[in-house]
Amino acid sequence: MAKSEAEVAQGPTVTAAGDGKGTAAHPLPDADTCRELLETMALIRRFEEEAGRQYQQAKAGGFLHLAIGEEATIVGTTSVMRPDDYLIGTYRTHGHAIARGTDPKNVMAELFGREDGCSRGRGGSMHIFDPERRFMGGYGIVGGNLPIAAGLGLASDYKGEDSVTVGMFGDGASNSGNFGETMNLAALWKLPVVFLVENNLYGMGTAIERHSAVTDLSRKAEGLGVPGVRVDGMDVLAVREIVSEHIRRAREDRQPTLVEAFTYRFRGHSAADPEVYRTKEEVEEWRKKDPITVFRDRLVAEGVISDEAVDEIRERVEKRVLEAVEFADASPEPPLESLYDHLYVVGDQVPGWYAVDERTPEPHRGEEEWEIGAAGEARKLAEAGAAYAGRQSSRGRGPEQTMDDRDAADALEDRDEDEPEEGPG
Amino acid sequence: MAQVRMREALRDAMAEEMRRDESVFVMGEDVGVFQGAFKVTEGLLDEFGEKRVRDTPISENTIVGTGVGAAMAGLRPVVEIMTVNFSLLAMDQIVNHMAAIPYMFNGQVRVPIVVRMPGGGGHQLGPTHSHSLEAMFLHIPGLLVACPSTPADGKGLLKAAIRDDNPVIFIEHETLYGARGEVADSDGNGDGPLVNFGEAAVLREGGDVTIVGLLRMVDVAERAAKTLANEHGAEAEVIDPRTLRPLDLDTILESVQKTNRCVVVEEGWPHGGVGANLAALITEQAFDYLDAPVQRVTGADVPMPYAKRLEQAAIPHAEHVVSAALAALEGSL
């Protein structure tokens, strides 16, 4: 159900921090802060564009969810958080980590699945993580991060610390059972959490009117004890003002709240999205509210920043992003022998079989008696990933056949079971 | 040594660890004022107060998820899920988060949480409160899985679980809560012995057939072993793995290499069960030593029925284990 232009136009109007005045209503912070906000948003934008391009070139695999258009919600929020506050997000969090200070190099390397990725290629685009900056993760399960946010808040409370957790999630997650459960628990236990719903109007390809009976998400947790407020998520200053007040309420009043930030992703849900569910006109309408260009134009118009300074920002972020790509490209792929790393913390417990292939020097007992050919990459892969596939594997490999002639890629590929492998050995 | 019931042993384990470590706390449905649906947390609220013994709403996924978040931030939550069946409501947090987070974030964060839950039949609780889902948790890399059968193991394993830096699923058996057993006295610091994960217990030695049982089926295995000795002249070796991850497969294999026959008895379902897994591992690792196929004795392949006769018919008994052992021993006695 495509929205009419009138509906689209109406969206942000009602969301502008509730005062209907839009950006101009928010006085500018000092010049340095303004420049920093602009540069961080620009860095995220440029990073995401480049990530999209690298994905097209198959440098990054899996799904890629870009936050282009949502930068003001991200940066407005992180810019009013303390270093000891926790941030936890969704599967669209390259920008959140970067805004918290994670080096774009490590984020890009994670997208590339490389050794220097922030999760060393274990998590990928959907699971960015940087505990040093208390960015407690991107999460691939819609709504799965909500109770974890409550848990982070509980830990602050339990330890008598005044750190606050900001738990960000999408409009689609407001329909998950976790949403209701977590709001109730957070309110019941007075946890210092700001729940921030990045309402980009679509749960994947389903418009909010089609997925949520109550479309005013700021009110959706009221009955569970969590009051909410709406904010124009395309306006970095509006987000700063509202989130900063709600962080204060969490920190000082121990009142969890729900902030609904209206935002919009200019790109599809993921890089593999044909976008049949919305019109080009709608996207164009929102592009007029581009959080970066609108803010930049205002800074230039009010003389806070010169055109030259804008160019310098552009050059700096360009350089950082290209360096990130270069860094990620140069980073090695994780070695096969690292496959089981960090599956368990192996302490002073007696050795048992934690995982297949993990706790015994001879995963294939008696294997030496078998003729399975020379040790090649294929065998290494097979052993690393399917330690007990055994001699009669699911691929139907006969006892006489060897693996000599199969290269690494071949060994990982699914084979058509009906298609006989090479003739009988 | 004192005679202690399982529920008291588990309670003592939590209390000792809570006294020892301020970061340990308990949360779950009715664990506080009500003192636990099975009275396992009796007395904890009085001693430790509401901050550390937290009654929760009936929100399993969020209870576990909140524990995961708290653990990531340095606490050591012990979460009680009222029955194994209810843990299915928390499977997203258990599988996608609790088990995966340490790995998917490359060990940069630990999730030292224990999720306790009782399962098993015998109290006529019917098809939604009586299941044995050890195999489901055993299936999941990243988890440790404990399944104690005696009060001493219950206490020692739970203490070890709480101190462990890995996420632990701790499965108890409803009908064992009242079972008594000898538990070592705690030392001057109020600290009892730990039981290491990955260390099976050989409860009875024998050279004719190995019987592996878990939870209440350990008792069933021991009864069967007595019958085999008294009535059939066969000496069974009874092994309780005590933890399924890590699994002390070596002890089981050593036994099988001696007896050449193995029976696995569990209360869970046959397909994809603990016994199925063990049978595969034993066959792969000790095929040349086997004189008979590994025999499995499992719960009936149905949701647990309510009626007493049917429920009992769905649970393995010593007679089943004796029959399976005799089948394995056929021709050798």
Query: ipTM value of the model?
Result: 0.95
Banded pLDDT at A345 (limits 50, 70, 90): confident
Of the residues B129, B174, B237, B267, only one is catalytic, namely B129
Q: Where are the domains of chain B?
A: 2-183, 201-329
pLDDT of the residue at A133: 98
Write out pLDDT tens, residues B258-311.
Answer: 999 999 999 999 999 999 999 999 998 999 999 999 999 999 999 999 999 999
Strand B24-28 versus strand A257-262 pairing type: unpaired
B-proximal residues of A, 12-71, CB under 8 Å: none
Average pLDDT over residues B88-93: 98
Average pLDDT over residues A299-306: 96
Q: Which of A127, A137, A388 sits opposite B284 (nearest CB)?
A: A388
Say how many C-beta atoms besides its own lie within 10 A of residue B184's C-beta: 13
Q: Taking a C-beta distance cutoff of 8 angstroms, is the pair A76, A69 a contact? A: no
Shared domain for A209 and A240, answered yes or no, is yes
Shared domain for A343 and A317, answered yes or no, is no
Q: Is B49 on the interface with A (CB under 8 A)?
A: no
Closest CA relative to residue B159, chosen from B76, B50, B75? B76
Q: In the β-sheet with A193-199, what is the strand arrangement from edge to edge? A: A86-88, A165-170, A193-199, A257-262, A228-232
* pLDDT beyond 70 at B217: yes
Which of B27, B76, B93, B104 to probe the A interface (max A CBs under 10 A)?
B104
Task: Return d(Cα A78, Cα A63) in angstroms, integer.
Answer: 25
Banded pLDDT at A291 (limits 50, 70, 90): very high
Shared domain for A233 and A371, answered yes or no, is no
Structure tokens at B174: 């409803």
Shared domain for A277 and A186, answered yes or no, is yes
Banded pLDDT at A408 (limits 50, 70, 90): very low
Average pLDDT over residues A56-63: 93
Q: Is B48 on the interface with A (CB under 8 A)?
A: no
- Number of helical H runs and strand E runs in chain A: 14, 7
| List of chain A residues whose C-beta atoms are within 8 Å of the C-beta of residue B252 | none
Write out pLDDT tens, residues A182-239.
Answer: 999 999 999 999 999 999 999 999 999 999 999 999 999 999 999 999 999 999 999 9
Shared domain for A104 and A156, answered yes or no, is yes
Range of the domain at A308: 5-330
Work out the angle between the directed axes of helices A104-111 and A31-56 (0-180°, nearest 10).
20
Shared domain for A261 and A382, answered yes or no, is no
* pLDDT beyond 60 at A16: no
CATH code of residue A72: 3.40.50.970
Task: Return d(Cα B17, Cα A73) in angstroms, integer.
Answer: 43
Shared domain for A267 and A376, answered yes or no, is no
Strand segments (E) across A251-401:
257-262
Which chain A residue shows the shortest CA-CA distance from B288?
Answer: A366
Q: Is B251 on the interface with A (CB under 8 A)?
A: no
| List of chain B residues whose C-beta atoms are within 8 Å of the C-beta of residue A155 | 69-70, 72-75
- Is A150's CB within 8 Å of B65's CB? yes
Closest CA relative to residue A321, chosen from A2, A15, A4, A52? A52
**Residue entry with tokens 């007395």:** B43
**Residue entry with tokens 């089943």:** B320
Phi-psi region of A90 (alpha: psi -120 to 50; beta: other; left: phi over 0): beta
Q: Taking a C-beta distance cutoff of 8 angstroms, is the pair B104, A122 a contact? A: yes
- Is B285's CB within 8 Å of A177's CB? no
**CATH domain B201-329 topology:** Rossmann fold (3.40.50)
Domains contained in chain A, number: 2
Residue A360: C-alpha distances to residues A242, A357, B135, B146, B279 (Å): 55, 7, 22, 20, 18
Write out pLDDT tens, residues A185-198.
Answer: 999 999 999 999 99
Task: Return d(Cα A403, Cα A299) in angstroms, integer.
Answer: 64
Phi-psi region of B287 (alpha: psi -120 to 50; beta: other; left: phi over 0): alpha
Considering the domain B2-183, what is its CATH architecture?
A: 3-Layer(aba) Sandwich (3.40)
Banded pLDDT at A361 (limits 50, 70, 90): very low
Shared domain for A298 and A386, answered yes or no, is no
- Is B57's CB within 8 Å of A131's CB? no
Chains A, B: CB contacts within 8 A come to 180
pLDDT of the residue at A390: 32
Q: Which of A122, A178, A185 sits opposite B56 (nearest CB)?
A: A185
Instruction: Say which range, A145-149, A406-410, B244-248, has the weakest mean pLDDT.
Output: A406-410
3-class DSSP state for residue B146?
strand
Shared domain for A326 and A367, answered yes or no, is no
Shared domain for A261 and A345, answered yes or no, is no
Banded pLDDT at B333 (limits 50, 70, 90): confident
Residue A111: C-alpha distances to residues A62, A203, A328, B178 (Å): 9, 23, 8, 53
Angle ∠(B96,B98,B100) on CA atoms, nearest 5 = 55
Average pLDDT over residues A270-285: 88
Last residue in a domain, options A297, A330, A363: A330
Closest CA relative to residue A175, chosen from A130, A150, A206, A134? A206
Domains B2-183 and B201-329 share a fold: yes
Last residue in a domain, options A282, A314, A330: A330
- A45: which strand partners? none
- What sign for the dihedral angle of Cα A301, A302, A306, A312? negative
The backbone torsions φ and ψ at residue A153, rounded to the nearest 5 degrees and listed phi first, read -65, -40
Strand A86-88 versus strand A165-170 pairing type: parallel
Closest CA relative to residue A354, chosen from B38, B318, B164? B164
Alpha helices in A159-212 (DSSP H): 177-188, 208-211
Closest CA relative to residue A217, chosen from A202, A238, A236, A235? A202
Say how many C-beta atoms besides its own lie within 10 A of residue B204's C-beta: 15
Per-residue burial over A266-298, b if 16 or more Cβ lie within 10 Å, else e, is bbbbbbebeeebbeeebbebbeebbbbebbbeb
Q: If 0-12 CB within 10 Å is exposed, 13-18 middle and 19+ buried, where does residue B308 land?
A: exposed
Whether B8 is catalytic: no
pLDDT of the residue at A269: 86
- What sign for the dihedral angle of Cα A312, A317, A320, A323? negative
| List of chain A residues whose C-beta atoms are within 8 Å of the C-beta of residue B105 | 119, 122-123, 127, 129, 131, 137
- Is A141's CB within 8 Å of B141's CB? no
Last residue in a domain, options A330, A351, A369: A330
